[in-house]
Chains A and B, each alone.
Chain A
Amino acid sequence: MRRLPAAVAGVVMWIGPLAVAGEAQAPLHDSQYSDADIAYGATLYAARCVTCHGTQGDAIGGVNLRSGTFRNAVIDRDLERFIRAGSPAGMPAFVLDNSEMAGIIAYVRNMNAFDAAAVKTGDATRGRAIFNGKGACTGCHRAGAAGSIVGPNLSDVGAARSAGSLQRSLVDPASQMMPINRPVRVVTKDGAIVNGRRLNEDTYSLQLMDDRGTLRSFLKADLRDYTVSATSPMPSYKGTLSGDELADVLAYLLSLKGQL
């Protein structure tokens, strides 16, 4: 199992003002890289890259990460491949999950503009307390052994989703909802109504987990009505949680790297 060093997992930075100002529909950053990814990447860089590449990204001859001078990479996919494979010149191969890779690349592409002084630091331990307490996230979600199974399980969400996606999902859940998690409402021919989360579907049948956590399968021929909603049942936490609290929750979510 891969596990992030606790020091990295537990401390994630957050560009406060931008995030708080982030409107649901407006882009959070004018580039393709989200601020949360850049900030997450900065912590990963400090933990795993800085020893060789230096704080300015120019400690290796012929390479200047800050100015985008690479020996072997042009596009992001080149960078990703190079980081995973390593180099005979001395760079080790890195095993990174999706979140980490998105973060590292976002940071390397934005080292020049990144202002460490402008970020707030999220704390995963505080975030966990909010997740289980004030945020009431466990009412629908599960992380590890605790929480409800009705919503998507978040035990490895910190490995599967980028920091930017997680950040957006807290303030604009519908924008980040994966199609397979869309809420469905089923009305059977005898009038029974079942609400749940779609797990699988084909031309003739539909599989879901209902809002009591039971696995259900329906033949479409037996249904009077069947609707899939693009609206998430999850509330936006914008306004409910402060910028600091959102940063803490994000740090906690990014620490959820799966159990087994």
Chain B
Amino acid sequence: MGGKRRSLASAFAALIAVWSLPAQAQVTSQRLVAASSEPQNWLTYSGSYYSQRYSALDQITPANVKNLKLQWVYQSPVAGNWQTTPLVVDGVMYLTQRLNDVVALDAITGRAFWTYRYTPAQDRIVCCGANNRGLAILGNTLFMGTLDAQLIALDARTGRPIWKAEVAITKDGYSITHAPLVVKDKVIVGVGGGEYGIRGFIAAYDAATGKEAWRFYTIPAPGEPGSETWQPCPKAANIFCDPEAWKHGGGSIWMTGSYDPQLNLTYWGVGNVGPDYNGAQRPGDNLYTDSVVALDVDTGKLKWHYQFTPHDVYDYDSVQVPVLIDNWANNRINVIAWANRNGNFYVLDRATGRFFIGEPFVKVNWMSGFDERGRPMQTPQPAGRPTYPGNQGGTNWYSPSFSPRTGLFYISAWEDYASIYSPAPSEYKVGSNFVGGGPQNLSAVPGAPGLGRSPINTWTDAAGHGAVIALDPSSGREKWKFKMTDVTDSGILTTASDLLFTGGREGFFQALDARTGALLWKTNLGAAINSGPITYRVGTRQYVSIVSGLSLFVFALDE
């Protein structure tokens, strides 16, 4: 593009941006489909239906990123691991904070327009912290799932509730922690509770009324397709086995799915089987746990599935955000790319679920390879021996990124990390922890006190470390790696100027060269980063935001 045309185009873009600033037009379902064409906004949890966490904004570049300055900070009043990703719509930032508050902030100053507080039921049962990862929007309505398994619609202009739907009964172990996905006129959510013996499901609700439109159970009932993978208990069993294991088979949903408008399919990653570690009491592959399911978005009917970890005994939830890539490997095939908690990077055909590649991106010893249909050949380790990757996985729920410019897929990874698993029988009791034993981290000095992480990191590299790994998705081969001393739970953002933003447990927020992995800028925000960065533009200015500890930080270049 010639210089003159470029400046004309950017002047026009700036004009549009300024003009559209006070407009706050409704977020139609068409806008959601084309979300990546309005990079000034961040309209869904993962930035677009393709969930690439890639932005076309390019004002901040590898050359000027070192000049980033803090613009504002928003501090949450509630302590705890804050995992939210904000939405930004025409100059207004909407975000959740613990427990189930929603706040609308001016995206330039960080000042609040309104706050909404929902108090989840006292008898709620939620694993692993009172987390809420974000919101969805349609029209002028925001949608939030709650810790006590409700779905709430709010007026985005006033923060006033419009409707509330009970998705599941929380005291039975159900919760909602992920951001809903809005497609057309429906709000799609799933339920958490994989450590409480739930029977997981994904459900769609009418966005206007909150009426349930369809429900897909991630654990099939007897007689339904997939139920044959919940096998009968052996007859002469002298081991504990549960003949009705499917009833509390887990299959939780706790990360947001993706959507292919052409195929009309929505893709969701399914969590671990229950109980997590004691496979003997639930014989079979235990579908659809640790799988990706492709559902017709209008009916909720299963189009295809692929199971990453059949008969999982390692808690390898497959809840990772599905990343959609078109024209994979220049083969005109549209795929899902997936870096799984089980340590493998996968590429699947988006229309059929056909397995193309599976390559380990970290040390893996629970399996040795794949058969021709893509089923892993499992190699269980002897009792007391470490299994790689460990319980928290080679990656986990941390959002990956794909840059169509570099063609690379970026993963927040835990390298050389292992656990020693000790399964034990677990009897199901409503609302009680249901995991079947437990893992131990591989310790440098067995029998000594556990290794600390923060504020003083006493881990050794023998216990593993964090990294950003850039893969070529056509081969699964590593292109570069940015190694950290501590591990990372941060999501990743890439931009059209070939920048990569990410954090880590050490509290550094850093910008890398997306092509090479070279460190270009870093700042210490003082607490672990457990969320994903986003970028947006108001007027002519590009901003980058990230949550660290109890604070949301927003950076931009000085004007």
Contact = CB atoms under 8 A, between A and B. Distances in A.
Interface string B70-97: 0000000000000000000001100000
A155 B116 CA distance: 14
Interface stretch (A125-133, A201-209, A232-240): A201-209
Contacts of B514: none
A3 to B, nearest CB: 14
Given A149-B155, A207-B106, A260-B152, A155 B111 contact: no
Contact of B24 (A202, A207, A214): A214
Contact of A214 (B22, B111, B112): B22
Interface string B497-509: 0000000000000
| Interface size range of chain A in the complex | 20 to 34
A142 B161 CA distance: 12
A213 B26 CA distance: 12
Nearest to B116: A260
Interface SS, B side: strand
Given A199-B114, A205-B111, A260-B164, A217 B106 contact: yes
A37 interface: no
A112 interface: no
Contacts, number: 55
A200 B112 contact: yes
Given A259-B161, A260-B161, A205 B23 contact: no
B109 interface: yes
A95 interface: no
Interface string B146-171: 00000010010110111010000000
Contact of B108 (A155, A200, A217): A217
Interface string A199-231: 110101101011001111101000000000000
B104 interface: yes
A180 B156 CA distance: 19
B111 A209 contact: no
A145 interface: yes
Contacts of A216: 22
Contacts of A219: 108-109
A202 B157 contact: no
A150 B245 CA distance: 54
A215 B160 contact: no
B5 to A, nearest CB: 29
A205 B23 CA distance: 19
A49 B410 CA distance: 66
A41 B326 CA distance: 67
Contacts of B109: 204-205, 217, 219
A205 B109 CA distance: 8
Contacts of A260: 118, 152, 161, 164
Contacts of A149: 155, 157-158
A207 B113 contact: yes
Contacts of B92: 215
A195 interface: no
Contacts of A204: 109
A64 interface: no
B104 A215 contact: yes
A145 B113 CA distance: 20
Contacts of A175: none
13 contacts: A142-B160, A145-B162, A149-B155, A155-B160, A199-B114, A205-B106, A205-B109, A209-B113, A214-B23, A215-B113, A217-B91, A217-B111, A260-B161
Interface of A: 142, 145, 149, 153, 155, 199-200, 202, 204-205, 207, 209-210, 213-217, 219, 259-260
Top 7 nearest A-B pairs by Cβ distance?
A: A217-B106, A260-B161, A205-B109, A215-B113, A260-B164, A214-B24, A153-B160
